[in-house]
Structure 1
Amino acid sequence: MKNLSQESAPILEALEKMKRLRLVPFDVPGHKRGRGNPELTEFLGEKCLSVDVNSMKMLDNLCHPVSVIREAEQLAAEAFGAAHAFFMIGGTTSAVQTMILTACKRGDKIIMPRNVHRSAINALILCGATPIYIDPEMDKSLGISLGMSYRAVEEAVKANPDAKAILVNNPTYYGICSNVEALAKLAHEHGMLLLADEAHGTHFYFHDKLPAGAMTVGADMAALSMHKSGGSLTQSSMLLIGPNVSEGYVHQIINLTQTTSGSYLLMASLDISRRNLALRGKEIFDKVIEMVEYAREEINAIGDYYAYSRELVNGDSIYDFDITKLSIFTRSVGLAGIEVYDLLRDEYDIQTEFGDIANILAYISVGDRPKDIERLVAALSEIRRNYRKDRSGMLEAEYINPQVCCPPQEAFYAPKRSLPIADTAGKVCSEFVMCYPPGIPILAPGELITPQILEYIRYAKKKGCSMTGPEDMDIEHLNVMEGSGK
C-alpha cells in the first residue's frame, strides 16, 4: 500500500481524477454519465450520474482489487482494527452469508442464536450446513429476546465439538450484546471461528462509552452495516476478517455471488464514510449519545413508556447495552409497538425504524437534530394522552423458541405442498415467515408449526406488522414439507 493516511479516500480521489480527464465513454452503463437518461439525471443530479461508472484501469475492479479499491479496503481495515476489510455492495446480507459460507461446507455444524437475521439462515440453505441453535433468553416483561448466555453456548460447544463456528449478534436489533470476548476465547479453545453479525454495531469501534467492537476482542470475522450508523449509502457494507482467516479464500466466496459490476457510488460512500468515522468518530457519537440519553430521559418522564438502557445489564445474556439505541417499550400504554409506529407515521409524519408487538425502535444518528428529538417526544406524549388503552389481552412474547425438525436446506428443497395457514399446525414449514423489519424469522424452513406460532402470526397481522417470507404474499397459505405432521 502507498503511504496513505486516514485523511485519504482513494476511491473518491480516483473518481475525481477520472472526471477531470473528460473521458469519452464507449463502455457501460448505457446512460453515459446521465446524458442518455435526462429524467434520471434530473432526479439524481449530474454529479451523481457522472460517477456511476464501470470498472476501468484507473478505478480498479471490485472482483480483483489491486489499486485504489484495495487501498481503500486497507484503510478501512486499519480504522476498524482488522487484518483486512472487504467492501460489500450487496448489503450486510452478503457479508453475513460470506462469513458462514467461508466457515461451513455441506454437513458442517454452526452454533448460532435462533434470533438471527434471515440472511444467516439463508446461508445455511445455500451451503447445507446444520444450525445448532441457542434459544436466547427472554425478558418477558419487555417481550424481547436477549443475547446468548455463556453457559448455553458452552453446553452447545461440548455437545457439538465438531462445529466449525459460533455466530453472535453484536448487538441485537434492540441494542443487547453478548459477551463476545468470552465467546471468542471459547470458540478458539475448541478450534472454532467466532463470527459476528454487527449490522447494528459499526459505531462500536469509534467510542469508548459503547460496547466493544467484535474485532477488538478476538472475533475472526465481522459483518458491518456501514449504511446504518456509519453514514454510507443504503446497501453498502463491510466484511472484516482477522489474521487467522484466508483473505484469498474469503474473496473467492464473495465472488460466487457478488456482482461483477460494482457500484462506484456505493464504494465511494464506504470510502468517504470510513474517513469520516476515522477522523471524527468520537465527536460524532458523543453527539448521538447525548441526544439519545436526553430522549430516553424525556420519554421515561411521560409515563407508561419505558425507554430502556444499561440498567438491564446482567453480565451474561445482557452483557452490555448499546446506549445509542432508543428502544421503547409501548405495551404499558395499551398499544403494540407496531400501532405506535403506525400512529407516528400516519398522524405525526415521523418514521421510526420498526415496531413489533411490544416495542418501537427510533434510530438516532449524527443526522438527527435536537428539534427532531423534541418532536418525537411530543408525539409520543400526545399518543399516550389520546390513544392509551387497557393492556389486557395483549400478547407478551416477541420470540417463540422453535422446534427444529431438519436442516434448512433439506426443508427448503424438499417436496412441499401449500395449505391454508389454519391447517398447518403440527407440520414442518418449508419457507420463512417474519415481520420485517427486523427480519428475524418467526418460522424458518425445517421448523415445526405450532398453535402458539400460528396465534402469534395472526396477532402480528391483526396489529399491522409487515409480514414477509412466504410464497403466498398474502400469508393465507404456507408451504409445508410433504408428509410432515398427521
Structure 2
Amino acid sequence: MIEKMLTQHNAPIYEALEKHMKNRVVPFDVPGHKGGRGNKELTDFLGANCLKLDVNSMKPLDNLSHPMSVIKEAQELAAEAFRANHSFFMVNGTTGAVQAMIMSCCKAGDKIIMPRNVHRSAINALVICGAIPIYINPGLNKELGIPLGMSVNDVKEAILTHPDAKAILVNNPTYYGICSNLQEIVTLAHNFGMMVLADEAHGTHFYFGEDLPVSAMAAGADMAAVSMHKTGGSLTQSSILLSGPKVNPDYVRQIINLTQTTSASYLLLSSLDIARKNLSLNGKEMFRKTVQFAQYARDEINKLTGYYAFSRELINHDTVFDFDITKLSIHTRKIGLAGIEVYDLLRDEYGIQIEFGDIGNILAIISAGDRALEIERLISALSEIKRLYSGDNRGMFDHEYIKPDVVLAPQHAFYSKTHAVPLEQSKGCISGEFVMCYPPGIPILAPGEKISEEVLAYISYAKEKGSFLTGTQDMEIENINVVEDI
C-alpha cells in the first residue's frame, strides 16, 4: 500500500467528511436526528450541512479516543504546523487540555509550581488529581491593578525550596497579554528535572504571527494547551494539546480519555482541522492584519485621554518579559468607571460585545475577522461613554489580585466536610469552594484558602459593579461553603 503524502494543504478529517456525505450512507446509528431529518426546527436553524456532518465515530472517520487514520493524520499535521512532537485534538475545551497536561505530570501528593492567577481549570485539575500547588505570587502593576507574569527569581526560589516539584505551569500569555520569561523558566525547570506546562489559551497566534512573543513549543516547554477557538478560528470548545520530545504521547492519550467524551463532535474536529490548515497557509498575513487593527485602535483610544490602552511600554524584562500586541487591553478606572461597567454599557447601549470587563479594565479581542468600520465603532463608543458616563474615581477598588493564604490543598478542602455560611460572616474561615468572576475565570478564592476581609471586600465590590460571579453552590453567591475541621 502506498502511504499518502500529506501537506499543510490537506485537511484529512474535513476530506473524509466530504467523502462520507457523497457516499449517502444510510444511518442506523446515533445521533438520532438522522442527518437533521428528525428535527426540522434544529436543521432550519443550524443548516442542513451542519446536521449532516454531526455524525458518530465510524471506521472511515476514525475515533478520537484511539486515532488510527484520518484523525491521526490531522493531529500529525497539527503537530507539524505548531512545531511540536505530538498534538491531541480536544473537544471539551482548553479546560480539558489544561487538566490533561497537569494530570499527565502529577499524581496525588505531587507538587506543581504555578502562578496564583491561573484559570480555574488548573486548580480544578488539582481537585481531581490531588496534586499540591506551590503558588508564586505574580508581579503587580499598581497603576493598572493587574497581575503580571512570574519573576524568574521567584520561580528559582520556588524551585530551590521545592526541588521535588514535578512541574511548573506558566501562563503564556495572561488574559491581559502579559508574558513571563518562558525560555529562562524552561531552562531552570529542566535543570532540576521538572516539566514545563504552558497555558496558551490566548496564545494560538504566537505560532503563526511575526514579531510576537515566543510560543511554548519554541521555548522548549514540554506541553501546551492551545485554545484554537479563541484566536485560531475553530469552533468554540475546540482546542489542541501539544507535547514535546520528553513526553510519552500514549500515556497522555490515556489521561485525556479519562475525562474526554467518547462521542467526539466531528463539527469540532473538522473545525480544528480546517483552522490549522488556514493558519498554516495564511497565518502570517492574518496576524499581521490583527496587529495593525489592534495598534490602530490602541493609538486612537489613547488619544481620547482618560483610557489607557497599554502595550509593550510595560515590559520590564522580568514580570513583564514580553507583551502580546494583538491584545486590546484598556484601563478604565481613571474615567471613574469599572471595566465591567464599560463592558455593560458597550453591549447594552452600543451593541458591542467585548471579551470581558473586570473592576479596572476591559479586553477587546481583535482578529483578522474584524473590519475597520467595527474598530471605528468601538473607538467612537468608548469616546461617547467617556463623555456621557465618566465620573469621580475616588473610592474605586484599585487592584485585581489578592495574595492568597493557602491553608489546605484544593482537593482536601473541596472534599472535606463543609457547611454554608453567609459570605459576610465567613471571614477567617477556610473556603471549600471557588468564587470567581467569569470571564476570565481566575479564582478570587479557591478551595483551601482562608477568607480574608480583603477578599470579601473584593467580592462585594465586584457584585456591586455587576460582575458575573460563579463557583459556589449558592447560585446567588450569598453563602459560601467553608471547611468544618482541618
TM, length-normalised to structure 1: 0.99
Counterpart mapping for 1:107-256 below 5 A? 107-256=109-258
**Deviation digits for residues 172-225 of structure 1 (CA, Å, limit 9, x no counterpart):** 000000011111111100000000000000000012211011101100000000
Once the 2 structures are TM-superposed, how far is the Cα of residue 2 of structure 1 from its aligned partner? 3.0
The Cα offsets for residues 414-452 of structure 1, whole Å up to 9 and x where unpaired, read as 000100111100010000000000000000000000001
- For 2:269 and 2:429, locate their aligned partners in 1 and report how far apart those are by CA, in whole Å: 45
- The structure 2 residue matched to 1:296, chosen from 295, 298, 302, is 298
- 1:483 Cα deviation from its structure 2 partner: 3.6
Residue equivalent to 2:277? 275
Supply the distance in 1 between the matched residues of 2:432 and 2:481 (Cα, whole angstroms). Answer: 6
1:318 alignment partner in structure 2: 320
Choose the corresponding residue for 2:368, options 366, 369, 377.
Answer: 366
Mapped contact 2:87–2:242 kept (Cα < 8 A) = yes
Q: Which residue of 2 aligns with 1:395?
A: 397
The structural deviation recorded for 1:105 is: 0.3
1:335 aligned residue: 337
**2:12 alignment partner in structure 1:** 10
State the Cα deviation string for residues 231-262 of structure 1 (Å, max 9, x = none): 00000000000010000000000000111101
CA deviations on 1:106-152 (whole Å, 9 max, x unpaired) are 00000000000000000000000000000111101001000000000
Q: Return the letter of the residue paired with 2:209.
A: H
Contact kept? 2:342, 2:357, Cα under 8 Å: yes
RMSD across aligned positions (CA)? 0.6
Equivalent residues of 2:210, 2:288 under 8 A apart: no
Question: What is the rounded CA distance, in whole Å, between the counterparts of 2:108 and 2:485 in structure 1?
Answer: 24
Quote the residue 2:29 is aligned against: 27
Q: Hey, what does 1:344 align to over in structure 2?
A: 346
| Cα deviation, residue 51, structure 1 | 0.6
**In 2, Cα distance between the equivalents of 1:384 and 1:133?**
38
How far apart in 2 are the matches of 1:427 and 1:257? Answer: 32
Shift of 1:25: 0.3
Matched residue of 1:184: which SS? helix
1:338-388 superposed Cα distances (whole Å, 9 cap, x missing partner): 000000011000001000000000011111100000000000000001111
Distance (Å, rounded) in 1 between the aligned partners of 2:80 and 2:214: 16
**C-alpha separation in 1, matches of 2:205 and 2:212:** 8
Provide the C-alpha distance between the structure 2 equivalents of 1:260 and 1:375, rounded to a whole number of angstroms: 44
Provide the C-alpha distance between the structure 1 equivalents of 2:471 and 2:20, rounded to a whole number of angstroms.
43
Letter in 1 for 2:155: V
Match of 1:45 among 44, 47, 62: 47
Aligned partners of 1:469 and 1:67: how far apart in 2? 40
Q: Distance in 1 between matches of 2:210 and 2:316?
A: 20
Match for 1:357: what amino acid? I
- Mapped to 1, the partners of 2:485 and 2:59 lie a distance apart of 56
CA distance in 1, matches of 2:72, 2:92: 18
- Which residue identity is paired with 1:249? Y
* Partner of residue 482 from structure 2, selected from 475, 480, 485: 480
Does the residue aligned with 2:481 lie in a helix, a strand or coil?
A: strand
Which of 428, 433, 455 is residue 431 of structure 1 equivalent to? 433
How many Å apart are 1:318 and its aligned residue?
0.3
Q: Which residue identity does 1:122 align to in structure 2?
A: N
**1:380-419 per-position Cα deviation (integer Å, ceiling 9, x unaligned):** 0000011110110001011100100010000000000100
Q: Percent identity?
A: 66
The one-letter code of the counterpart of 1:264 is: Y
Using the alignment, how far apart are the partners of 2:343 and 2:237 within structure 1?
Answer: 24
- Cα distance between partner residues in 1 of 2:393 and 2:54: 52
What letter is aligned with 2:360?
A
Question: Match for residue 288 of structure 2?
Answer: 286
d(CA) in 1 for partners of 2:359 and 2:22? Answer: 53
For 1:293 and 1:259, locate their aligned partners in 2 and report how far apart those are by CA, in whole Å: 40
Name the aligned partner's letter for residue 243 of structure 2. Answer: I
Code of the aligned partner of 1:259: T
2:146–2:399 contact (8 Å) kept in structure 1:
yes
CA distance in 2, matches of 1:266, 1:99: 20
Structure 1: how far apart are the matches of 2:408 and 2:250? 33
Partner residue in 1 for 2:93 = 91
Alpha carbons 2:93, 2:239 under 8 Å: kept: yes
User: Matched residues in 1 for 2:184 and 2:220: separation?
Assistant: 9
Query: Is the 8 Å Cα contact of residues 137 and 403 (structure 2) preserved in structure 1?
Result: yes
Contact 2:206–2:215, Cα closer than 8 Å, also in 1: yes
Where do 5+ consecutive residues of structure 1 fail to align? none
Q: CA deviation at 1:162?
A: 0.3
Letter in 2 for 1:205: Y
2:104 corresponding residue in structure 1? 102
Q: Is the 8 A contact 2:210 2:287 kept in 1?
A: no
- SS at 1:222 equivalent: strand
SS across alignment from 1:425:
coil
Runs of at least 5 residues in structure 2 that lack an aligned partner in the other structure: none
Equivalent pairs counted in the alignment come to 484
Q: Compute the TM-score of the two structures, normalised by the length of structure 2.
A: 0.99
| SS of alignment partner, residue 197 of structure 2 | strand
Q: Give distance in 2, aligned partners of 1:9 and 1:483.
A: 55
Structure 2 matches for 1:251-270, cutoff 5 A? 251-270=253-272
**Distance in 2 between the 1:93 and 1:303 partners?**
37
Structure 1 SS opposite 2:225:
strand
